[in-house]
Structure 1
């Protein structure tokens, strides 16, 4: 802007959106809607009054006060230009044109180019279904823009610089064709919903590399389960129609807000929100921006083979140093880092998680959070939000830990849901047996559970569901899983690996559960958590169904102030807390935390489980899981399922004595656990895996990480390890307690605990 390159005849001055005030001996102040900027120094006081857009550069140099050298002027002008405070152009005008130039300069754009572009460019208005485009067209033309309504079939050679699509629902089926034409033409289009009490604007789809309408629709449908169910039941395609609720003032505001966005885009003004969705609620005048990102695996604008290729690759683990925040376990990232990295997935519009909330029942100390819905139990909870695990749960020693825990569980469940792009191999067990693992080795139902399954299933929750016996000759879908033990791929039924996988015709023998599913700050973290969960549930099953008395854990000996506070909080609720050690043959500490009311009446016994190489982490995990579930029994029961209700109303330490510590065994203290800390998560994975494999078991991993999510998610499978649900096949459930000396002989099948574990 300075020197011989500046043409004469074009005035230089402060940008039009700035007003100048000089207080001599103090500073020059520039006022704008955004605030006040102070310029200090004698040069500023001497030269600022001359920058009133009435002089070109020669005139400015001519009028400088005596004693101010041209070099000083040049340096001052250069600094102002670098700070974005100066404009160069025709002399100022008046009225709307001048206000428009001030607006563009405030936006940081070239005002002259912005005015020229908005005057020269063309807008095409496209309406879907019965939506009336006339109000949108009128608003655009009132703003001085050249606009027309699309007539007839869309083509890729339309000369418009931007299309504006007005619809009554962002899931309108018409949008698929509109998206296809614009992607082919590489022409930008703005999606809008200008009717109703809530106005939606954006995104601008301007590049297939940044996402398409199908990427957005995938997110939107995920939040509209009930609607999808109704439409499917009625044989309808697309979203359900809704009555329009609006007012003339709202309609006018919506169309003019759309016009503003169109004008900014044509003028070349860009900001991140243009590629997201802005929702405006007219009832409380709140606006929210929802970040939109491309789904790399999108079948229309991405690579739909991604998940298939991922399943075909070996799972390779590498060194991952642990972070310094170990309050919630050993991770490669802190909870804050995890939240910051994935918080864009928290949105009821473009996110995977609709919201994260803290339970308001009970003390805040519980740090019990929920993020819903839980897709792993979607079919059971669509119309029963009070069902167990209808939402994803989060726990932790701090609110941040609980919030991040809920977030990660929701993302884990989403990643483990069947989307249709997973690797699948068609065949029967008999035809694939060289590579396939028989489902029964993972399901572990006893043959005696099948004949009466109809009666059992009718009186128990879906978690205890007994399926049909598996048919070795049935032709079904199988998915590769990587054997860390054998260093090769094995096959398991797809329906056991992904929630919501299509059922095989004529059979309900296979379904997925969350056992071994885990998310982590890195792949190694996820594998570790999945393995620990399997070890935990295996140990818990042996304790619960055999009803063995196990040693107490001396909580005082751990010297943890947080545990002391927890006991005080429960005491304030007239409850007592104790912990059992149910560690089994792996030697990995597995602990059970229990809490019961001691004020008479129902004991409302609640429990939580934890496993980890570090006994202190295992202890905190058990206690935080117990805390996480406490809100459902504080101030009345929040679950309506009969199994947990019957437990809380009838279970006592008298009629369930295995819940109490073995009085003949000394309480466990930290010195009883042989633990050497390691600085790397890979070391922990290697140690846990080694202990499991030493039991003659195979460790399998399926990488379920979705490219649009990014959070590492795996399903770990160890055939032979027990779930803590009612599955009573011969094996570890009966043999290990005897081998460990918990029991003198195996528990008879009919003497197993008749109360299925309901968590």
Structure 2
């Protein structure tokens, strides 16, 4: 039975006659109208025990109601009253208003334990059995944190169950050895930087649950492109970023927050607030933000998928849940963003920024900034990395945002990390397992022969012709799964990954043609295939300057198409679509928008391909939307102001291309009617007034030219 009873110090107790009791705390206010509770408030004072309280109340009952204890009926009244008292005490105890007085912890800590839903005895036991170690790397004194921990009755020792590292640099070189020791000992540790206007608390690394410091360091470096560029140029491995401004007041605030989280970890046996989470505290606006640490499967320190055996691609059937914008998807763009939101962030994210370009209700475009590494480690590449290498578009804001995010994930996934599955050999040794890189690049013998003359005349690397491939040179090869042969083939690793550190000669390099990310492997393959098909159709049309039929957008009965044309009209621009479908008979289109009434026409081009022609046209139009902001700024005389970070080749095109010298891109009719019936292309000629024209009707015939 209970010894001495006392009220929970987390509550202030007030009474109102004749029988009302209030329990008031920071988080709740509770009222009881119960005579027994009212009487117990007067008797429970931390001195009396359970039996004494019952005896006093029974005596009061006898005195106030003149009950004869020798009367059998009176005895039943006393017993029932005693049971009612016991029930009331147990109810108050169960709800946390009443405690058995043990004085194990100071009242302030007892109150804290109550709000954390941990009993005082359990908290006391854990505080006695667990110890922490505090260390400092850099200029931060550790004694202040030790003093705060002691005030919380946290024991500090040289060899603790939890190690706290105070540092002004999360990439301090000594952290690597601390991380390795923790992985071996399976002991958790906490990283804290209390300096600067943006203080960092966490992550709490748990080797059995979370990612490790190596996982964090990789993301930190990836999200510091300028700093990492300087380090590479100086051949220096020490991080350059450290807090430049802070005050003792904010430092103490962060140390107190840290100590409180350590206290929670001890008495609760866990701390979900910091386990695998880096929490930033902005001391200027008092805002907290969580940054999720992802346990990287290919981490060289804690990774769980370092198996060097390649796995075949196994395809399955997936239900299409979203088909209204951008393609056929496994889930909606909103669901995609919810699922992968933790990958967006400037500290632990893959995508450090995902910014919307100003538009309107029709035009939605996002630019994604993320880690990227190319063969060419120069200032031009750095500028592109800073400005953003990926973008997304869509008919809705969420589709554009998801599109930009997925393209960034696609590009990030193609960056060489160093732990990829590779095999050293030459082309001849691999035999029919090897794919000659020129089978993918398709350069002609003539192009190779004249590369020395051709390359200096062309600015962009997409126009360069590489060195002829040396079939006898020992290089790294990457296994790729052939969907046609259902077996592994091998491509040069330098062709598969961006930033592979290859030596001369440059006989091939990676590009993003045909790359895609998706919610499932099937979705990603479909998107990548559509991009390859689109580029193939564009190449046939563009390089041969083929005259292609125009599309009657009105025939689709799609309000968005007409609204977009009107919007472009308001910008003094035209907008039309050409059908550039090839002999593959999968719909592919080119959307074209020139500026009207100016010598410089700033012609915009966008492309789209899909099994569904309406989706294909929508993709082409929204791609023009994506490029549009590059040509919307003008001087007073109407001259276009181009973004300094814009691709020089694109700027050259905008400045020099005219409909008069690019006649294949003009809105025009053709002599063959193209009908799309049940997804299949039909050829037919229709004669009207001795001229061949294109017909259109919603349903049977979808595409036409005028």
TM-score category (smaller protein):
0.7 to 0.9
SS in 1 for 2:370: coil
Could you report, residue by residue, the CA deviation over 1:237-275 in whole angstroms, capped at 9, with x for unpaired residues?
Answer: 231264642222223223222222222222226442211
Cα displacement string for residues 202-228 of structure 1 (whole angstroms, at most 9, x for unaligned residues): 112233442221111121111122222
For residues 186-225 of structure 1, what are the structure 2 equivalents within 5 Å?
186-225=186-225
Moved more, 62-71 or 594-603: 62-71
Aligned to 1:496: 495
In structure 2, the partner of 1:691 is none
Q: Deviations over 1:626-655 (max 9, x none)?
A: 111211211232244321111112222122
1:637 is matched with 642
2:202·2:278 contact (CA, 8 Å) conserved in 1?
yes
Tell me the matched-pair count.
Answer: 647
SS at match of 1:434: helix
Whether contact under 8 Å (2:13, 2:23) holds in the other structure is yes
1:672 — aligned with what? 676
Counterparts of 1:12 and 1:615 in 2: how far apart (Å)? 76
1:716 aligned residue: none
User: Higher Cα Rg: structure 1 or 2?
Assistant: 2
CA distance in 1, matches of 2:39, 2:631: 72
Q: Which residue of 2 aligns with 1:90?
A: 101
1-side partners of 2:673 and 2:505: how far apart?
Answer: 49
Equivalent residue, structure 2, for 1:326: 324
Query: For residues 388 and 444 of structure 1, what CA distance do their matches in structure 2 show?
Result: 32
Q: Distance in 2 between matches of 1:673 and 1:189?
A: 64
Q: 1:388 to 1:225 in 2, by over 3 A?
A: closer
3-state SS in 2 of match to 1:372: strand
Cα distance change of structure 1 residues 260 and 658 upon mapping to structure 2, 3 Å threshold? same
Structure 1 spans left out of the alignment, 5+ residues: 1-6, 151-157, 677-759
> How far apart, CA to CA, are the structure 1 residues paired with 2:23 and 2:567?
56
Q: How far 1:457 sits from its partner (Å)?
A: 5.0
**Equivalents in 2 of 1:87, 1:293: separation in Å?**
43
In the other structure, the counterpart of 1:112 is 121
Q: Verify: 1:178 aligned to 2:171, yes or no.
A: no
CA distance in 2, matches of 1:193, 1:410: 30
* 3-state SS of paired residue (2:652): helix
TM-score for the superposition, normalised by structure 2: 0.83
Displacement of 1:407 after TM fit?
Answer: 1.3
Q: Which residue is 1:368 aligned to?
A: 365
Deviation at 1:28, TM superposition (A): 8.1
Q: In structure 2, which of residues 552, 555, 569 is the aligned counterpart of residue 554 of structure 1? A: 552
Correspondence 1:46-57 to 2 at 5 A? 47=37, 50=40, 54=45
Superposed displacement of residue 601, structure 1: 4.1
- d(CA) in 1 for partners of 2:350, 2:19: 54
Residues in 2 aligned to 1:246 and 1:388: alpha-carbon distance in whole angstroms: 27
- In structure 2, the residue matched to 1:477 is 476
Work out whether residues 370 and 412 of structure 2, in 8 Å CA contact, stay in contact via their aligned partners in 1: no
Corresponding position: 1:283 with 2:284: yes
Q: Could you tell me how far apart the structure 1 residues matched to 2:103 and 2:41 are?
A: 12
Distance 2:116 2:237 in 1: 43
Q: Following the alignment from structure 1 to structure 2, what is the Cα–Cα distance between the partners of residues 79 and 566?
A: 68
Q: Check whether the contact 1:437–1:490 (CA below 8 A) recurs between aligned residues.
A: yes
| Counterpart residue number, 1:292 | 293
Change (3 A) 1:398 1:73: farther
| The 10-residue stretch of structure 1 (213-222 or 126-135) with the greater mean CA deviation from structure 2 | 126-135
Pair 1:89–1:641, CA change in 2 (3 A)? same
Q: Residue in 1 aligned with 2:10? A: 17
* C-alpha distance 595-111 of structure 1, shift in aligned 2 (>3 A): farther
Aligned equivalents of 1:405, 1:610: Cα separation in 2:
14
Residue by residue, what CA displacement relative to the aligned partner does 1:315-339 show, whole Å, maximum 9, x if unpaired?
A: 1111111114533321111212211
The match for 2:142 is 133
Partner Cα separation in structure 2 for residue 222 and residue 430 of structure 1: 37
Cα distance between partner residues in 2 of 1:197 and 1:392: 30
2:560 and 2:5 map into 1 onto residues whose CA distance is 68
The one-character-per-residue Cα deviations of 1:132-171 (angstroms, maximum 9, x if unpaired) are 43443344345544335x6xxxxxxx3x122111112111
Alpha carbons of 1:99 and 1:458: their partners in 2 closer, same or farther (altered >3 Å)?
A: farther
Instruction: Within 5 Å, give how 1:338-417 maps onto structure 2.
Output: 338-360=336-358, 362-363=359-360, 365-373=362-370, 375=372, 379=377, 385=383, 390-417=388-415
CA-to-aligned-CA distance 1:690-735 (integer Å, 9 cap, x gap) = xxxxxxxxxxxxxxxxxxxxxxxxxxxxxxxxxxxxxxxxxxxxxx
Q: Distance in 1 between matches of 2:239 and 2:133?
A: 25
Return closer, same or farther for 1:376/1:449 CA change in 2, 3 Å cut-off.
Answer: farther
1:483-515 alpha-carbon deviations (Å, 9 max, x no partner): 111111111111111111221x32211211111
Secondary structure of 1:290's partner? strand
Per-residue deviation at 1:76? Answer: 8.1
State the shift of 1:541 in Å. 0.7
Contact kept in structure 2, 1:376 and 1:513, CA below 8 Å: no
Higher relative contact order, chain-length normalized (CA < 8 Å, sep 6+): 1
Distance 2:207 2:197 in 1: 30
- The C-alpha deviation readout for 1:273-316, integer Å capped at 9, x for no partner, is 2111111222333221111232222222223524x33xx22211
Q: 1:585 aligns with which of 580, 583, 586?
A: 583
What's 1:576 paired with?
Answer: 574
CA distance in 1, matches of 2:467, 2:237: 33
Write out per-residue CA displacement over residues 40-93 of structure 1, whole angstroms, 9 at most, x where no aligned residue.
x866x97488579758766787869999988888888888888x6555331789
* Match of residue 303 from structure 1: 304
The whole-number CA distance in structure 1 between the counterparts of 2:460 and 2:264 is: 55
Aligned CA distance change for structure 1 residues 540 and 376 (closer, same or farther; 3 Å)? farther
> TM-score w.r.t. structure 1 length?
0.78
